[in-house]
């Protein structure tokens, strides 16, 4: 099954690398097109994961805000024992929220590994390089540069995209304010 999917993807990828007939330009444009596709698929995935987990993340955020308020109140009243207990709970909530948001970020990256695998199958043996200023850039570095450019471009035009793609993990207003004592 994996070989079948790879065969279909390889046919598609070969088309991306034969757009102009100029080898270096095709290499650049094909890699850029793959990077843009990777960014869009990753954003769709992260948006889907966020929609599925939104209730859980909102619950964590609400509980973190409440724990933060209670912790501050306990500190103001001088109740060190209550402060420690509440702050311990708040730190646990912070950790859960942190790793959930980390997972959302990772959800946007998974297509890059498949793209790099495909690029490796096609370009690792051939040694096709782009020469810039006397330096040779291999497929990994070129893909990363194209990926970052595609990310930057997406950030600029994101408001024009469908609602499913505009959904990005919002930073919690309570994220990163709990201290350990």
- In 3-state terms, what secondary structure has residue 70? helix
- Round the CA-based radius of gyration of the chain to a whole number and report it: 23
Collapsed DSSP state (helix, strand, coil) of residue 20: coil
* pTM: predicted TM-score of the whole model, two decimal places: 0.72
User: Distance between CA 101 and CA 171 in Å, rounded?
Assistant: 8
Residue 180 pLDDT greater than 50, yes or no: no
As a whole number, mean pLDDT of residues 122-129 equals: 73
Which pLDDT tens digit goes with each residue over 72-93? Answer: 898 888 888 988 998 899 999 9
Asked if 26 contacts 13 with a C-beta cutoff of 8 angstroms, the reply is no
Q: How confident is the model at residue 176 (pLDDT cuts 50, 70, 90)?
A: very low
Q: How confident is the model at residue 139 (pLDDT cuts 50, 70, 90)?
A: confident
Domain ranges of the chain: 2-166
DSSP run (H or E) holding 131: strand 130-132
pLDDT category at 148 given cuts 50, 70, 90 is very high
Phi, psi of 135 (to 5 degrees): -105, 140
Q: What is residue 124's predicted lDDT score, i.e. its pLDDT?
A: 81
Looking at residue 102, its pLDDT comes to 87
Least-confidence region, from 41-50, 103-112, 137-146, 159-168: 159-168
Beta strands in 48-119 (DSSP E): none
Residue 35: band (very low, low, confident or very high) from pLDDT cuts 50, 70, 90: very high
Residue 178: closest CA among 45, 84, 77: 84
Pair of tokens at residue 84: 């420690």
d(CA 130, CA 19): 17
Helices 23-77/2-16 angle, 10° precision: 110
């Amino acid at each position: 099954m994996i070989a079948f999917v790879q065969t279909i993807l390889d046919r598609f990828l070969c088309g991306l690398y034969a757009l102009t007939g100029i080898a270096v330009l095709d290499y650049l444009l094909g890699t850029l097109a793959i990077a843009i596709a990777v960014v869009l698929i990753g954003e769709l995935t992260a948006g889907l994961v966020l929609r599925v987990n939104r209730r859980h993340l909102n619950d964590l955020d609400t509980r973190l805000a409440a724990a933060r308020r209670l912790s501050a109140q306990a500190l103001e009243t001088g109740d060190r024992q209550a402060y420690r207990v509440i702050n311990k709970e708040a730190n646990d909530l912070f950790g859960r929220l942190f790793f959930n948001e980390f997972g959302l970020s990772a959800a946007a990256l998974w297509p890059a590994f498949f793209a790099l695998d495909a690029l490796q199958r096609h370009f690792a043996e051939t040694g096709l390089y782009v020469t810039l200023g006397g330096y040779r850039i291999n497929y990994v570095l070129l893909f990363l540069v194209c990926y970052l450019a595609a990310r930057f471009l997406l950030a600029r035009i994101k408001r024009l995209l469908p609602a499913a793609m505009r959904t990005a993990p919002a930073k919690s207003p309570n994220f990163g304010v709990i201290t350990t004592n």
